[in-house]
């Protein structure tokens, strides 16, 4: 069967755009880039020259009839606005994480898309990598028995020691939860299903940050957002979890994600990557076993797979995995940690989502 190729217009040509340009060009034949746009002329011209893609203003790109899906790679504070603009121009839209910075904007995008008969999608798509898909297969096959608990930790000292522009991470809309939480919670929802409630606590250890990266050394950043999140949460399935996300930890050896069941424990790889290692410890084992990644192909950086899967879903009418509904549920859950901390009480998650389908085994690179 010959599949339709869907045309992509990219808005936002910053650092993250390179891997999308590369993978769409080299891996995912069901989508192709028809043009790009960025407010910074040097960035858009650089990408145009590097990848042979025409440059347009944002208005012209949005009005082009030959573009089916807008890939929104702007910074997070612009995600909802650009998504809305794309939908008003009759385009499907897929954006980088997070889906929005608040529930109102996120829901507004979903509602508009529904009204116009259009589709939305959102990163991260790392949960479609070989590592996380192998974990999903093991859980679905009952290798660890019935899951009953999950643990997730992202503990680091922050971005000012290496990032060329770390200021955003310490302002409203930044912080470790909205920055890294999408990877961890999307992975957990893909493995265990939707979250039903959160009890959280937020804080910050420092009111200012001193940059030490070469390009920003000595700059002072006022910290105007939470930089430490801790919480308990429960899935609709009854599995309970514990999560800690922090920019206030100088060094930690806490695991990234673990899922424990009645027959064993699964040690999950970094949810910000696509590969392994996947490690399994079962009752009676003396040490954890390294598990091969089955026949799932995406074990290297495959950002864009969620967009390609969305394009195939739009073409065929089947559900696609990195959906706007999934991203909104993750956003709803992330925001609940602060809501709970401020209220001092448990927060029930009002949104829900269908657990994404596992990928088929034995796919070739670029195939979905």
pLDDT tens across 44-53, in order? 999 999 999 9
What would the mean pLDDT of 115-137 be, rounded to a whole number? 98
pLDDT digit string, tens, across residues 55-113: 999 999 999 999 999 999 999 999 999 999 999 999 999 999 999 999 999 999 999 99
Q: What is the mean pLDDT of the chain?
A: 95
At 1, is the pLDDT very low, low, confident or very high (cuts 50, 70, 90)? low
User: Tens of pLDDT along 180-194?
Assistant: 999 999 999 999 999
CA–CA gap between residue 359 and residue 277 (Å, rounded): 18
Burial class of residue 113 (count of CB atoms within 10 Å of its CB; 0-12, 13-18, 19+): buried
Under 8 Å between Cβ of 314 and 30: no
Q: Which fold has domain 127-296+330-348?
A: Dihydrodipicolinate Reductase; domain 2 (3.30.360)
> Where are the domain boundaries for CATH 3.30.360.10 in the chain?
127-296+330-348
Supply the pLDDT for residue 2: 67
Nearest to 147 by CA among 195, 192, 187, 186: 192
Instruction: Give the model's confidence band at 334: pLDDT under 50 very low, under 70 low, under 90 confident, else very high.
Output: very high
- Write b or e for each residue in 58-82: b if 16 or more Cβ atoms lie within 10 A of its Cβ, otherwise e: beebbeeeebbbbbbbbebebbbeb
Nearest residue to 14 via CA among 79, 103, 91, 109? 79
> Where do you find CATH 3.40.50.720 in the chain?
6-122
Q: Residue 29: pLDDT above 60?
A: yes
CATH class in words for 6-122: alpha beta
Model confidence, pTM: 0.96
Percentage of the chain lying above the pLDDT 70 cut: 99
pLDDT at position 305, please?
97
């Amino acid at each position: 069967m010959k599949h339709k190729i869907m045309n992509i217009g990219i808005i936002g040509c910053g650092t993250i755009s390179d891997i999308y340009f590369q993978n769409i060009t080299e891996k995912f034949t069901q989508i192709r880039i028809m043009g790009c746009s960025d407010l910074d002329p040097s960035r858009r011209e650089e990408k145009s020259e590097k990848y042979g893609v025409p440059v347009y203003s944002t208005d012209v790109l949005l009005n082009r009839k030959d573009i089916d899906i807008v890939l929104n790679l702007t910074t997070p504070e612009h995600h909802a606005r650009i998504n809305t603009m794309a939908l008003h121009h009759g385009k499907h839209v897929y954006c980088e994480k997070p889906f929005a910075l608040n529930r109102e904007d996120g829901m507004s995008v979903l509602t508009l898309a529904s009204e116009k008969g259009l589709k939305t999608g959102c990163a991260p798509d790392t949960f479609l990598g070989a590592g996380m898909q192998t974990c999903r297969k093991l859980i679905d096959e009952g290798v660890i028995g019935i899951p009953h608990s999950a643990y997730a930790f992202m503990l680091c000292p922050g971005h000012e020691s290496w990032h060329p522009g770390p200021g955003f991470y310490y302002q409203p809309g930044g912080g470790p939860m909205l920055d890294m939480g999408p990877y961890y919670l999307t992975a957990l929802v893909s493995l265990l299903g939707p979250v039903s409630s959160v009890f959280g606590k937020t804080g910050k250890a420092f009111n200012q940050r001193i940059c030490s990266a070469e390009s920003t050394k000595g700059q002072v950043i006022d910290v105007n957002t939470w930089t430490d999140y801790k919480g308990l949460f429960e899935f609709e399935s009854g599995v309970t979890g514990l999560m800690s996300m922090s920019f206030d930890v100088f060094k930690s050896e806490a695991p990234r994600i673990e899922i424990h069941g009645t027959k064993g424990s699964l040690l999950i790889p970094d949810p910000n990557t696509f590969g392994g290692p996947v490690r399994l410890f079962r009752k009676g084992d003396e040490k954890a076993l390294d598990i091969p990644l089955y026949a799932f192909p995406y074990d290297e950086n495959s950002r864009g797979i969620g967009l390609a899967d969305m394009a195939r879903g739009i073409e065929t009418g089947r559900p696609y995995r990195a959906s706007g509904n999934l991203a909104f549920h993750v956003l709803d859950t992330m925001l609940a940690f602060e809501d709970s901390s401020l209220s001092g009480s448990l927060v029930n998650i009002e949104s829900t989502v269908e657990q994404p389908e596992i990928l088929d085994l034995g796919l070739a690179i670029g195939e979905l």
